[in-house]
Structure 1
Amino acid sequence: MDSPLAWLAQTALADWMRLSRWGYAGINTLHVLGIALLVGAILPLDLRLMGRRPELPLADTARLLQPPAIIGLVLALVTGALLFLAGPGDYLAMPLFLLKLTLIALAIGNALWLNLGPGLARATRRRLRLAGGASLLLWLAVLACGRLLAFVAE
């Protein structure tokens, strides 16, 4: 284990995550809540970006769904980092975990590419469809990787 990783694994917070059954369970529950908020909001938004339900104004749909998606993402990232502390060396040794982190980075990059680029209002229909489709696939792949982590060994 690398030195910073060893230090991280020996912090009081890492000990608490490993040893506190209720602490770990509570953080894990908040992690699932964050994922539910994120995916529950991003799925209908992605479908709208891909052209479903065109009668719903895109700006209104985004204004409604982006805040809970962002709150869910932040909650999932913070709690995910805490869960990581329970076994940083073990997680980093798992290719599936590294794939999950890569997919999360790509999904966040995709959202930034759309929102910080032309924005929803000025994006072409093609760009909206591409961003929505990529987001949908990436977040579903993140979900699958995260769930499979509980069942696969290195």
Structure 2
Amino acid sequence: MEMLFWLEDSIVGLTVSSTQWGYPIVLSLHAVGMATLVGVALMLTIRVLGFAPNIPVTSMAPYWRVALGGFILNLLSGSALFCGNASELFFNWAFRIKIVLVFIGLALTWRLVQICVKRTDEVSPAHRKLAALAMATWIVAIIFGRLIGYWS
């Protein structure tokens, strides 16, 4: 608990929790990062699931760097948001589930990128299953992110 209180009392924690603009700015950055990361991930999964078959799957490779940029923005802004309320968030099950799902979503999407985008334009049934699982993981992660404020 001491470490959690230290995070809340840090300059980042106090800026997020105690200033008029800290929380809204950091939360907005978190939303932009999430939109970027999940938007690219869903774009790839939707393509693998069969939408827009005239677009080669391999043409989506450069967007993975954009998604990673969104992840870095989310990591930084999410860490700042955590510092603002660490002693509550650490024990919040919705927060814990969300974090696990985000890393599972990243791993699944990265695997999809490696299989589908970097090697071939062929999409197999296994790729479609992976894409569906990645899509579901991202959607459920967003839902649990929204539930953080309602679960204690």
TM range (shorter): 0.7 to 0.9
RMSD across aligned positions (CA):
1.9
Structure 2 unmatched ranges of 5 or more: none
- CA–CA distance in 2 between the matches of 1:9 and 1:107? 28
Over the matched positions of the two proteins, sequence identity in percent amounts to 25
**Aligned CA distance change for structure 1 residues 124 and 41 (closer, same or farther; 3 Å):** closer
CA distance in 1, matches of 2:82, 2:68: 21
Q: Which residue of 2 aligns with 1:20?
A: 19
Pick one of 93, 96, 101 that aligns with 2:94: 96
Q: Under a length normalisation based on structure 1, what TM-score does the superposition of the two structures give?
A: 0.86
C-alpha contact (below 8 Å) 1:35/1:76 kept by paired residues: yes
2:55 aligned residue:
56
CA shift at 1:124, angstroms?
Answer: 6.0
Candidates 90, 110, 113, aligned match of 1:112: 110
SS at 2:7 equivalent: helix
Structure 1 residues 119 and 40, CA, compared in 2 at 3 Å: closer, same or farther?
A: closer
Q: Which residue does the alignment assign to 1:81?
A: 79
- Rounded Cα–Cα distance in structure 1 between residues aligned with 2:38 and 2:18: 30
SS, match of residue 85 in structure 1 = helix
In the alignment of these two chains, the number of paired residues is: 150
Q: TM-score, normalised by structure 2?
A: 0.87
1:30 aligns with 2:26: no
